[in-house]
C-alpha cells in the first residue's frame, strides 16, 4: 500500500475540519450500519444487550470509534507512533480481526457520502480511503 | 439459488427505478478510476485520464459508465437467475476484456457510495444491506466463467 502524500494529508485534514462537528453522528451511523450490513461483526458485541441502531451501546461505541479516527487525523504524520497504544489495545485486549477494519472503513465512507454529498468528491474519497487504510495498518501493527 | 426477501426485491427495483443512469453511471466509473487508479489499465484508449478533473469530465468515461450501469438492468429483471444471466458477459470479461475479477468489487463499492450520496437518508442500513447483497451476487456471477 502506498503511503500518504502531502496532498493526501492536506485533503484529509481540511475535509476533517469540515466534518468533525458531526463526528458523533458519523460514528453512530457507521457502526449501526456495519452491524446490519455485515452481521458477522456482531460477534464482537455479544456482551451488549441491544445491538439495534440508535441503542445506547451502539451510539456510545460509534462515538468512541470516531473519536479514534479524529485522534488519528492529528497523528497523521506518524500514525505508527501515534496509534501505538490503540494498536496494543486492539491486539492484546480486543483482538479484533484486522479484516474488520476494512469493513468499518467502508461504512464510514458510505456515511460520509450520505452526509456530505458535495464535499465527498472522488479526490476526497481517495485520500480518505488511503488514510483509513493507513490507520488500519497502524492499528494492526502490534498484532504479531 | 439465492434467496431474496420481499424487502430485498422491492428495494432493488426501487433503487434502479429511481436513479438517473446518466448521472450515477458516469459518477461511478469516474470515482472508480480516481480512487483505484490501477483500474485505468483497461481504458488505455480513453484519452485524458491524468487527474481527477480530467477523469470526471472525460466524455468516454461518462458514456462507458452509463453502459456499465445499464449492464445491471438484466440482473434487476432476473433476480432469480443472475448466475446464468451473466454467463456470456462473464466469458466476455474473462476472454476478451481480460479484467481482473477483483476489480468488479472495486466498481460496486464505488456504485454503493454514489447511490448512497444520491439517496441520502433513504439509504438506510437495511437498504444498503440489500443493495450490497445484490451487487455481490452480480460480482460473483461475472467472475464465474473465468478459468
Count CA atoms closer than 13 A to A11's CA, side-chain side.
Answer: 19
Residues of A in contact with B123 (CB under 8 A): 110, 114
- Interchain CB distance below 8 Å, A36 and B132: no
Q: Find the mean pLDDT for residues B25-34.
A: 98
Tell me, what's the pLDDT at A2?
A: 58
- Interchain CB distance below 8 Å, B128 and A113: no
Residues of A in contact with B34 (CB under 8 A): 122-123, 125-126
Closest approach of B53 to chain A, Cα-based (Å): 9
Tell me, what's the pLDDT at A53?
A: 87
pTM of the model: 0.91
Classify each residue of B4-25 as buried b or exposed e, where b means 16 or more C-beta atoms within 10 Å of its C-beta: beeebeebbeebbeebebeebb
Residues of A in contact with B136 (CB under 8 A): none
Interface test with A, best of B51, B117, B124 (most A CBs within 10 A): B117
Interface test with B, best of A106, A122, A123, A129 (most B CBs within 10 A): A122
Tell me, what's the pLDDT at B133?
A: 98
- Interchain CB distance below 8 Å, A123 and B52: yes
Per-residue pLDDT of B51-105, as tens digits, reads: 999 999 999 999 999 999 999 999 999 999 999 999 999 999 999 999 999 999 9
Residue ranges of chain A with per-residue pLDDT less than 50 = 1
Per-residue pLDDT of A122-143, as tens digits, reads: 999 999 999 999 999 999 999 9
- Interchain CB distance below 8 Å, A53 and B56: no
Closest residue in chain B to residue A53, using alpha carbons only:
B125
Closest residue in chain B to residue A1, using alpha carbons only:
B36
Per-residue pLDDT of B118-144, as tens digits, reads: 999 999 999 999 999 999 999 999 999
What is the rounded distance in angstroms from the CA atom of residue B87 to the CA atom of residue B74? Answer: 12
Among B31, B114, B125, the residue with its CB nearest the CB of A37 is B125
Q: Find the mean pLDDT for residues B22-42.
A: 96
Per-residue pLDDT of A88-101, as tens digits, reads: 999 999 999 999 99
Amino acid at each position: 500500500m502506498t503511503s500518504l502524500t502531502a496532498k493526501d494529508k492536506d485533503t484529509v485534514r481540511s475535509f476533517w475540519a469540515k466534518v468533525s462537528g458531526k463526528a458523533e453522528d458519523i460514528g453512530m451511523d457507521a457502526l449501526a450500519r456495519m452491524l446490519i450490513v455485515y452481521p458477522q461483526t456482531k460477534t464482537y458485541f455479544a456482551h451488549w444487550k441491544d445491538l439495534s441502531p440508535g441503542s445506547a451501546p451502539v451510539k456510545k461505541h460509534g462515538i468512541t470509534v470516531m473519536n479514534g479516527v479524529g485522534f488519528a487525523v492529528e497523528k497523521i504524520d506518524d500514525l505508527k507512533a501515534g496509534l501505538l497504544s490503540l494498536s496494543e489495545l486492539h491486539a492484546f485486549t480486543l483482538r479484533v480481526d484486522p479484516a474488520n477494519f476494512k469493513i468499518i472503513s467502508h461504512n464510514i465512507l458510505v456515511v460520509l457520502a450520505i452526509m456530505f454529498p458535495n464535499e465527498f468528491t472522488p479526490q476526497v474519497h481517495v485520500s480518505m480511503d488511503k488514510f483509513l487504510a493507513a490507520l488500519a495498518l497502524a492499528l494492526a501493527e502490534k498484532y504479531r | 439459488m439465492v434467496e431474496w426477501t420481499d424487502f430485498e426485491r422491492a428495494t432493488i427495483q426501487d433503487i434502479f427505478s429511481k436513479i438517473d443512469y446518466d448521472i450515477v453511471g458516469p459518477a461511478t466509473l469516474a470515482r472508480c478510476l480516481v480512487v483505484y487508479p490501477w483500474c485505468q489499465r483497461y481504458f488505455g484508449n480513453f484519452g485524458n485520464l491524468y487527474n481527477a478533473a480530467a477523469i470526471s469530465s472525460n466524455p468516454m468515461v461518462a458514456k462507458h459508465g452509463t453502459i456499465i450501469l445499464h449492464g445491471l438492468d438484466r440482473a434487476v429483471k432476473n433476480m432469480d437467475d443472475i448466475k446464468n444471466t451473466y454467463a456470456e458477459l462473464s466469458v466476455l470479461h474473462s476472454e476478451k476484456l481480460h479484467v481482473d475479477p477483483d476489480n468488479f468489487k472495486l466498481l460496486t463499492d464505488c456504485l454503493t457510495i454514489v447511490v448512497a450520496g444520491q439517496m441520502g437518508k433513504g439509504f438506510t442500513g437495511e437498504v444498503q444491506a440489500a443493495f450490497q447483497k445484490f451487487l455481490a451476487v452480480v460480482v460473483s456471477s461475472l467472475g464465474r466463467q473465468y478459468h
